[in-house]
Amino acid sequence: MMNESRRGFVGKAFGAVAAVGGVASLLAMKMTWDPLPSAMSAGFTKVDLSGLEANKLEIAVWRGKPIFILKYTEDMKPVDGRTVKVGDHYYSVMIGLCTHLGCIPAYNTGEKDFTCACHGGSFTLAGVNSFGPPPRPLDLPPFKIDGTTLVLGEEGPEYKAMMAKA
Amino acid sequence: MAEFKPANSAYEWFDQRLGIDKFLKVMMTEYWIPKNINFLWAMGVLLSVMFTILVVSGIFLLMYYKPDVNMAFDSVNYTIMQEVGYGWLFRHIHAVGASIVFLVIYIHMFTGIYYGSYKKGREIIWISGMLLFVLFSAEGFSGYMLPWGQMSYWAAYVITEIFGGIPLIGGDLVVWIRGNFYVSDSTLTRFFMLHVLLVPLAIIGAIVLHFYALRFPHVNNEAGEFFDFDKEAQKYLAGDKKSSKVVPFWPVFLSKDFFVLGFFLLFFFYLVFFHYDFAMDPVNFDKADGLKTPAHIYPEWYFLWSYEVLRGFFFEIAGISGKALGLMAFAVAQGVFFVLPWLDRSPMVKPANQRPYFKYWFWLLVVDMIVLTVYGKLPPTGANAWVGFASSMTFLLLFVTLPFITRAEAKKVGGK
């Protein structure tokens, strides 16, 4: 009996130590696959909006994705929840990947809309899907307005207001 | 320590220490295989040979391949293809081999389904086989990323994106798998590790399990007949080879297999030398560009059926989005073959054509998977999308109705 319970105790103690070690090493292994600090810090992109031309699409790169920045002319109408005002001008800021299968739509300066060459989807200048297979408007990237600088990757009050309306 | 007598020959010296005689008997000369089989029973050996060919050609590619986003494309398309002596040959063997290994896997799998080889004590063989299918799929997917062409990149992008559909953790999981917010250098290097080390190790383990699981229930035969292997083996060993229902694995069974293997390898090397282009998508000869999507993205032929199930649901049903439905159907399609031994409620082990209801189910499944494969490659627009939807639904319904069909069959044949 004495021997049995001793063996049982040793077994349980070993099991407990092994379990703690196992969980700790799993956590360490999980963390080796987390994005590296350099990848995390590259997760913010700054764009100066002051030099942009109206009705000409600017494409910035943020986290490997194309970001459409479109400055509106006088006759382009802002859309509530999709257009942001910086200074005196309105802008569309959105992720330039078709919500159908992730192709990059092209901007038509004449018609003032976007068409996707892959499966024929269309979006208005504010990125609202207007024709074809795309199931929803172009996604909005989290952004913050800092003077005339657009900071992509950080959630500012303008972004939160837009998300609340969307 | 055990006692050892002085050895009379080098063979005996090794035999004393390693039990070579006994080992060869257990593994080869007294491992019994049914006599009543056909060329479809050679697929296991074909797959073992193909896996070896892939490992060997992979070793040669590994010596020049560079798993870095700036160097990967050129290390394959310039260094290996143009500079390394016969580098092109090893690449073509590897690429064609990856494609053909799936062809043989599908034949192997559907042979098992046709002859009911997953039933009555053979469940672990079936499950370990399906596990091998999943592991080979992971191996194919991770390997496809390595040349870092446009198809490599966008296949990696679309497939990792699939995990984003998992509720709550999806978004974080995608970033974790990629090691970045997009498919990047860290993604390439970790999938390189998976492709050359972890997945092959898992495959070797699963192959061992697959072979071992075969030892007790033994190999099935063309008639689905049950018999006493020990009794038949005794008969064979006593010299009554004619009436015995079994033959030894070596030399009898393997010599038949090698004959089939001979034809197969002629076909394989014909493809390697004269038709390798089917395994070399032209789009993948453009270097990966994360800001330029190819007009039409499609996987290699062996993934098309499950890709089509993923795409098949393109509209909302009962408030669930088409994307979510597609993901659920895709997840079901990946897992449903595993439970086949339990979905088939008929105890009958016979070739499908001798089973009154199952034969319709079997051929319908084959036709449906061919339709899915064909439409998986076409752009999902107009009528194509509806064919995709119908064939995806058919695929799911086939598995939902299988228990009812086979139960009715069991009733009809009186539980035989």
A54: DSSP letter: B
Domain that includes residue B404, residue range? 326-416
Q: Does A29 touch chain B (CB under 8 A)?
A: no
**Do B293 and B376 fall into the same domain?**
no
In the predicted model, residues of chain B with pLDDT beneath 50 are none
Distance (Å, whole) CA B147 – CA B153: 9
Token reading at B407: 């139960």
Distance (Å, whole) CA B108 – CA A129: 46
Distance (Å, whole) CA A88 – CA A107: 23
Contact (Cβ atoms closer than 8 angstroms) between residue B406 and residue B345: yes
Query: Which of B279, B297, B315 is the last residue before a domain boundary?
Result: B297
B285: DSSP letter: G
Is B319 a domain residue? no
Answer yes or no: do A102 and B182 touch at CB < 8 A: no
Is B17 a domain residue? no
**Do B75 and B143 fall into the same domain?**
yes
Residue type, B167: P
The CATH number linked to B97 is 1.20.810.10
User: Which residues on adjacent β-strands are paired with residue A71?
Assistant: A54, A91
Residue type, B292: K
Q: Choose among B178, B291, B379: nearest Cβ to A61.
A: B291
Tally of CB atoms within 10 A around B296 = 14
**Arithmetic mean of pLDDT over chain A:** 87
Is B18 a domain residue? no
**Do B330 and B293 fall into the same domain?**
no
Contact (Cβ atoms closer than 8 angstroms) between residue B85 and residue B123: no
**Do B55 and B138 fall into the same domain?**
yes
**pLDDT-based confidence at residue A79 (cuts at 50, 70, 90):** confident
Residue type, B287: K
Is B186 a domain residue? yes
**Do B55 and B94 fall into the same domain?**
yes
Pairing between β-strand A83-86 and β-strand A89-95 as defined by DSSP bridges: antiparallel
Q: Does A33 touch chain B (CB under 8 A)?
A: yes
**Do B115 and B208 fall into the same domain?**
yes
The predicted structure's pLDDT at residue A2: 56
Q: Choose among A33, A43, A59: nearest Cβ to B181.
A: A43
Is B8 a domain residue? no
Contact (Cβ atoms closer than 8 angstroms) between residue B215 and residue B122: no
**Do B344 and B233 fall into the same domain?**
no
Answer yes or no: do A64 and B180 touch at CB < 8 A: yes
Contact (Cβ atoms closer than 8 angstroms) between residue A161 and residue A84: no
Distance (Å, whole) CA A52 – CA A70: 8
Q: Choose among B290, B292, B321: nearest Cβ to A64.
A: B290
Q: Does B296 touch chain A (CB under 8 A)?
A: yes
Is B307 a domain residue? no
Residue whose tokens read 């080979």: B136
The predicted structure's pLDDT at residue A81: 84
Task: Count the domains in chain B.
Answer: 2
**Do B130 and B253 fall into the same domain?**
yes
**Do B395 and B284 fall into the same domain?**
no
**Do B383 and B266 fall into the same domain?**
no
Is B16 a domain residue? no
| Greater pLDDT, A145 or B322 | A145
Q: Does A31 touch chain B (CB under 8 A)?
A: no
Is B15 a domain residue? no
Distance (Å, whole) CA B115 – CA B408: 19
Q: Tens digit of pLDDT for each residue in A92-104?
A: 999 998 887 778 8
The predicted structure's pLDDT at residue B171: 85
Mean pLDDT along residues A85-98: 89
Q: Tens digit of pLDDT for each residue in B96-146?
A: 999 999 999 999 999 999 999 999 899 999 999 999 999 999 999 999 999
Q: Tens digit of pLDDT for each residue in A37-53?
A: 988 888 888 889 888 88
Q: Tens digit of pLDDT for each residue in A12-70?
A: 999 999 999 999 999 999 999 999 998 888 888 888 988 888 888 999 988 888 999 99
State pTM to two decimals: 0.89
**Do B335 and B289 fall into the same domain?**
no
Contact (Cβ atoms closer than 8 angstroms) between residue B246 and residue B232: yes
What ipTM was estimated for this complex? Answer: 0.79
A58, A103, A104: best to mutate for the B interface, most B CBs within 10 A: A103
In degrees rounded to 5, what are phi and psi of residue B145? Answer: -75, -30
Chain A residues touching residue B323 (CB < 8 angstroms): 135
Query: Which of B280, B297, B314 is the last residue before a domain boundary?
Result: B297
Distance (Å, whole) CA B335 – CA B232: 37
**Do B144 and B293 fall into the same domain?**
yes
**pLDDT-based confidence at residue A110 (cuts at 50, 70, 90):** confident
Q: What is the DSSP string of B194-262?
A: IIIIIHHHHHHHHHHHHHHHHHTT----TT-----HHHHHHHHHTT-TTT-SEEEIIIIIHHHHHHHHH
In degrees rounded to 5, what are phi and psi of residue A123? Answer: -135, 145
The predicted structure's pLDDT at residue A166: 63
Residue type, A2: M
